[in-house]
Structure 1
Amino acid sequence: MSILVTGAAGFIGARVCQVLLEQGAHVIGVDNLNNYYNTDLKKERISTLSSSRYFDLKEVDIESVDLSDLFKLEEQREITGILHFAAQAGVRHSLDAPIDFINTNVKGHIAILEFARKLANLKHLVYASSSSVYGRNAALPFRESDRVDRPGSVYAASKRAAELMSDCYQHLYGLPQTGLRFFTVYGPWGRPDMAYFKFARAIMRGETLTLYEGRELARDFTYIDDVADAVLKVLAAPPSSDQQRLLNVGNNSPESVSYLVTLLEKHLGRNASVSVMPRPVADVETTWASIDAIENLAGWRPRITLDEGIGRFSEWFSRSKYV
């Protein structure tokens, strides 16, 4: 039996692949290794995974190929689970390149749905959504039952569109699916476009980092190992064929961005130079995940505090070539 993981060179995808391989699973990774951020980081993640004989990589754009053509029929019969993480990320980047988000996050998602519905032995499709779908909602914490029809960016709209397409495919074909709304995932081997990574680099280089205005500027930071644990617990608990699930994956404990900077200073052993600027219109002030649903379903709760997680990240970052 095989697990297909799209976005295998990405931050979440690579960590989930690594855990699956440690558990003895056969993993088929799919990734186009695009250059949205440093491809060296993606190649290093893949190099680590490729040391296992149970890992195979197919380097393709999911939105531009017929995925059925990539696999022989016997290979398709072996696929029992799909973890779909391939996406164009970056809320602010979606202001500059909105078409990229439609191509990957909408066209790419429906390509996965089309492939998945034809697999004879597929038990569960788990896909990455985002806390960004909560958009301009003001009520906290964010709950899966909240209305999500006021996106604050093209990125958020593309992720909500993917959720709606999945709901349609569940209705039409009984495709068992769960969408995971991730909240600010961080940790070693993370994405260089994320705030904590950019802050760490600025601190280490003696450069000024930018904080945005807002007394309530906070994020529900969620450590990568906790996220991987959540993904695999959910994968092992598919819904009935008449149900599409949406679940928050967050820390259920928003922390101020200024506290994040304090922790980076502590663990990197250097002081930050800070400039305060107006908050971009695409950025929400606070994110906060209600995690009652995933805890009730899979018994999952995050374990790593922000202090511990930033300590682990800082140790990795200080030794990396990405300083």
Structure 2
Amino acid sequence: MPVTDITTDPDALTMTLTAEFAAPVERLWAAFTDPRQLDRFWGPPGWPATFTAFDLSVGGRAEYQMTSPQGEVSRGGWEFLTIDAPHRFDVLDSFLNGDGEVLEGTPTMRVEFHFAATEAGSTLTNITHFDSLEALEQVVEFGAVEGSRLAINQLDLVLAGLRAFAQGKGTQVELLDDTHVRITRLIEGPIDLVWRAHTEPELTRKWMLGPDGWRMSVCEMDPTPGGRYRYEWEPIEGTEGEAFGFDGETLVSEPPRRAVTTEHMTGTDYPPTLNDLTLYEEDGATLVTVLIEYPDRETRDMVLATGMADGMESSYARLEREVIAV
């Protein structure tokens, strides 16, 4: 993971993050100064960022918002103080309200972004300065330490490019913490078609079948916020196993980029999971990312032990074969 250290210093009133990357310093600089690239990593998993304004000039402003799986919105903004490409820029960093003004009761911080070349690539040193110990403690309580770590650890994918990062690797599973798992799969096809394959029953039935020997007997979905869905699978003749299904509700829908749903195993009292699907297209390929939030570590481990990732890989391979290639 890129992040090597995050420390808080109550005496100096600072929080410092350091990270290392196998990419030239100019490439790292570009990722932090292009709003479309910032969109892909500035928000931690589950809170993707969208930059709505970006004026990279001294005195210029950048504004962004992050949206949770439940649809909650957190807004922030930078005012650029100094710019020395590709080595450093400094900003005043504030929490914003819906009108773009500083959110009452929250601190404004001075933040330094330092970029340096190394033999292996480049480093980022991010130093946040606080006006008071209370402000530092408030931001840490907001989850800034772990949120920053998770956000910056997404940057390797952005720097490498989709195919270099994911092509040929199949379905990848990452354990982010005790309750969060991130699953990624590169699909050789355009984002609009991949989105339709996830939201149109006639296409979903062609690929979301799991391992060979199973059929999707029920596929009902309303992909709009507040809409419900229900999937059921059953083994075909000669295949062992018992029928099962899932049902849930759509919480967030942002075609063709993001959909957040709950997922509950039909007919059981198991607690539901939260599934955050995001799609990103680059050069004709689409990265499918599913961030799953489990109620606890035990449930996470129990589900992964069922061979879920293998079933997803079979389905994604079928998506490319039966939907994309047709």
| TM-score over 0.5 for the pair | no
Greater radius of gyration (CA): 2
Indicate the structure with greater helix content.
1
TM-score normalised by L of structure 1? 0.23
Higher strand share: 2
TM-score, normalization by structure 2 = 0.23
